[in-house]
Amino acid sequence: MKKIVVTGGSGRFGQVLKNYKTKHRLFFPSKKTLDILNTKKIKNYIKKIRPDVLIHLAGLSRPMKIHDKNIEKSINLNIIGTANITKVCNQNKIKLIYFSTNYVYPGTKGNYKETSPVLPVNNYAWSKLGGETSVKLYKNSLILRVSMTEKPFVHKAAFTNVKTNFIYHEKVVPLLFKLLNKKGIVNLGGKSQSIFNFAKKENKNVKKIFLKKKNSLGVPFDSTMSLKKLNSFIK
């Protein structure tokens, strides 16, 4: 059994993680108790709990445009906050697991491996890659480049020409626990397919939409990842 601290436990994935039955002992500090922008608070909480693992979910994600409108907030929460967490984990020899995104890849050809060059297409992905850089400096860490979403699919329409590896939060959790002892970078997702094909399995009424090549959404057309490394770990 491991003692595991989870930042960002009030988020969508954090709520699913809270409801999962596991042999491990999980702690979900509030934002006030563990403020990722306050190193002193991080240190005090870690000293009190003395965890074996810290899963870092806290940060800024939606709406995507917030990373363009308020880059200071994006930098603070996704880059500086992650660096603070990394420093404290390093000081206390705690395993760190960081949730990044498949959007760090260029998103043009798909089937990206963990060793493929990265080139984010939007500010959200740049901020997550910024977080990765600090985590990668710490050897006792695992970076998960994840393509996940909540269930049921929240949108009324889905792109037919945008491919990814979407997987529901509920399926990510058991995979996460199988990866607790792994290090480095691991792609984590589901089947490579269009967002529409993924969504229609749970929602037969989802409508088709087409993403134009010239658009302001900053969505990569093919951010699919190779999952060979993941599959070798969980088989």
Say which range, 160-174, 179-193, 199-213, has the weakest mean pLDDT: 199-213
Q: How many helices (H) and strands (E) does the chain have?
A: 9, 12
Amino acid 214: pLDDT: 79
What is the percent of the chain where pLDDT is above 70? 100
Amino acid 10: pLDDT: 93
Task: Indicate whether this model's pTM tops 0.85.
Answer: yes
Identify the H or E element spanning 212.
none
Each residue's pLDDT tens digit, 76-92: 999 999 999 999 999 99
Amino acid 150: pLDDT: 93
Torsional sign, CA 30, 92, 54, 139:
positive
**C-alpha to C-alpha distance for 165 and 193, rounded to whole angstroms:** 7
Identify the H or E element spanning 125.
helix 123-137
- What is the number of domains present in the chain? 1
For 42, other C-beta atoms within 10 Å of its C-beta total 26
Which residue range is the domain that position 132 belongs to?
Answer: 3-234
* CATH number reported for the structural domain that contains residue 8 in this entry: 3.40.50.720
Of 159, 164, 171, the closest CA to residue 147 belongs to 164
**C-alpha to C-alpha distance for 218 and 68, rounded to whole angstroms:** 11
Tokens at 231, concatenated: 């599959």
Amino acid 215: pLDDT: 79
Name 68's bridge partners: none
What is the percent of the chain where pLDDT is above 90? 93
Amino acid 157: pLDDT: 97
Q: Place 217 in a pLDDT band, splitting at 50, 70 and 90.
A: confident
Each residue's pLDDT tens digit, 28-57: 999 999 999 999 999 999 999 999 999 999
